[in-house]
Chains A and B, each alone.
Chain A
Amino acid sequence: MTAPLASVDLPAPVLTASGCAAAGRELDPFLDLTELGAVVTKSIMLEPRSGRATPRMAETPSGMLNSIGLQGPGVASFLAHDLPWLRERGARAVVSVAGGSVDEYAALAERVGGEEGVTALEVNISCPNVESRGQVFACDPAAAASVLSAVRRRTPARVPVLAKLSPDVTDIVEVARACVDAGADGLSMINTLLGMVIDTDTLRPALAGVTGGLSGPAVRPVAVRCVWQVRAALPDVPILGMGGVRTGLDALQLVLAGADAVSVGTATFNDPSAPLRVQRELRQALAERGFARFTDAVGAAHHQLPRRRAEGVPA
């Protein structure tokens, strides 16, 4: 069940999602990482970062809010410890990078992009947890484009660069197009949605950071819609779809909407073996529906639409 994603052929279509698998090691007891399409790492930044105060998490109906604040050890530690481990383990790494400035993204691309074992870069331009909330790159097509252009220029051509998009925009297609025009080889969507929970006992916001990113099955319809819209507008641009995938049928929805591969995120907190389980369930769901190859299902819901209309099925 190979899944071509931009210029790489992933041996399987299901990946972990950034921020939900650390750098892969913690999931190793629960599943064989080499069977996944790739491990998408938690976003790496240039320097070590403490993240936000606690509480950092609030459970919501079929989801959760997080406001971790991109805690991480920094790129030097990642390259010294985490990437070599993934390489030795035989797992493919899609490295998520995040920065506070175009220069920082560019420097990260330079440090990480050429390293052995890096299958692709995912450029996190859309995390709502960073300090300068007003400066979220993914909410401004021009700012998003400047990051993607800088990263693409400094990353070896063989390594695809994916722009991770935020659903918290008026027109996600406009941002997607700006990223692709700037050199992005593909798109990851969606990141979390900005949300808030108020604790009715303390009468205060539940998170120390006040707002947080909403994820989990609650956001899945938003993810399906975003993938659908971008696939329809940019049919040739590879898409890594994510957002609320908990089962193989959830993954299939994203694939039918146009995702060339699918990441499993928050479901991993509930079930550490979820990524492989979803992959298994997806394979079965495809077989049951008569798809000979995984790629035949990608975007299939778009193809079906005109025929069903022609057959007189109401739109």
Chain B
Amino acid sequence: MSGGRPVQVRAEVLTLRPVGDYLSLTLVAPGVADDVRPGHFVALAVGGEQSSMLLRRSFSVYRATPGGRYGGTVEVVFAPHGAGTRWLAGVRPGDAVDVVGPLGRPFALPAASSGAASCLLVGGGYGAAPLVALAEQLRERRCRVDVVLGAASAGRLFGVTQVRRYASSVSVTTEDGSQGERGRVTDVLPDVMRRGGTQAVYACGPMGMLAAVTAAATRAGAVAQTAVEEAMACGIGVCMTCVLPVVGADGTTRMVRSCTEGPVFRGDRVRWADVGTVPEGTLGAPVAGGHR
């Protein structure tokens, strides 16, 4: 885990506010905020100390503000859809939430020695959350930053206004056509990459989108870094539930943890078509499908 060791803190809810169809939660989490880099995530306990919901809910960090007036805050964006996120949607300022973070491997920025790269950031829904800070950091490195954001509908877009200050171009797609172009992010990617001369692609969103973005990047001769979404129980690397098949530098496929080895992977290393399976030839797999 880069960016320092994770810490566990009892954070205080500062604000909870609606953002489109989502909710944005800001927590006073000293220590967590200090080392956050774009792509890091936090794991929140839900339901209180005696909750029957034991598993942590993980969210990528939208914004981290070390120090400052409140002693370090982190902000996450989420959609209430299950019992755990519905509980989070009910917290009030002053409530306590147990936070572990920062977790995972963040996005790798282009090496300073390689000069200003041309970068494309692709976000699906609230998956766009970590891309705003990433855009800011890439811009500080004088990189060209193009952004493509997509969602099912206008309400589910996130970050469109926020990325504008750092981006050379922002393209928006919605599946229902309620904002931007009707369609999916992948419909506009080839054009945007050609116009921007994209060398590096950063993506965060649903797995299907990440697979398609990787394919488009590869076709355009760019390298994609993808932040994957896999269900995690602990977020810290002990439960082994969030694995997916990833090809290593040695050509061997391994079932790796998205919490500690990820969530950011090189897109061309992830065996997207085999996610949810243990493909044949995976290290330690007796047969395709793994152990039954």
Expressed in whole angstroms, the Cα–Cα distance for A29 and B6 within the complex equals 7
Q: Is the CB of A51 within 8 A of B8?
A: no
A65-73, A153-161, A181-189 - the one binding chain B: A65-73
Interface hits, B261-276 → A, CB 8 Å: 275-276
Q: Which of B6, B52, B55, B238 has the largest count of A CB atoms less than 10 A from its CB?
A: B238
Q: Is there a chain A Cβ closer than 8 Å to B67's Cβ?
A: no
Q: Which of B8, B260, B292 contacts A273 (CB 8 A)?
A: B8
Q: Is there a chain B Cβ closer than 8 Å to A296's Cβ?
A: no
Q: Is the CB of A57 within 8 A of B255?
A: no
For the complex formed, measure the closest distance between the CB of B248 and the CB atoms of chain A, giving whole angstroms. Answer: 13
Interface hits, A159-217 → B, CB 8 Å: 208-209, 216-217
Interface hits, B79-107 → A, CB 8 Å: 98, 100
Q: Is there a chain A Cβ closer than 8 Å to B23's Cβ?
A: no
Q: Is the CB of B55 within 8 A of A50?
A: no
Interface hits, B1-59 → A, CB 8 Å: 5-8, 45, 52-56
Q: How many residues of A contact B (CB 8 A)?
A: 47
The prevalent SS among residues of B at the interface is: loop
Q: Is the CB of A30 within 8 A of B8?
A: yes
Q: Is the CB of A269 within 8 A of B56?
A: yes
For the complex formed, measure the closest distance between the CB of A266 and the CB atoms of chain B, giving whole angstroms. Answer: 6
A1-9, A20-28, A86-94, A225-233 - the one binding chain B: A20-28
- Chain B positions 217 through 236: 1 when the CB is less than 8 Å from some CB of chain A, otherwise 0: 00000000000001101101
Residues of chain B contacted by A42 (CB below 8 angstroms): 240
Q: Is there a chain A Cβ closer than 8 Å to B155's Cβ?
A: no
The prevalent SS among residues of A at the interface is: loop
Given A59-B55, A71-B255, verify A64-B278 contact (CB < 8 Å): no
- Chain A positions 25 through 56: 1 when the CB is less than 8 Å from some CB of chain B, otherwise 0: 01101100000000000100001111111111
Nearest A residue to B243 via CB reads A54
Interface hits, A245-278 → B, CB 8 Å: 266-273
Residues of chain B contacted by A63 (CB below 8 angstroms): 54
Known: A20-B239, A51-B255, A56-B241. 11 other contacts (CB 8 A): A29-B6, A48-B284, A51-B240, A51-B243, A52-B290, A55-B241, A57-B231, A64-B54, A64-B233, A71-B240, A71-B284
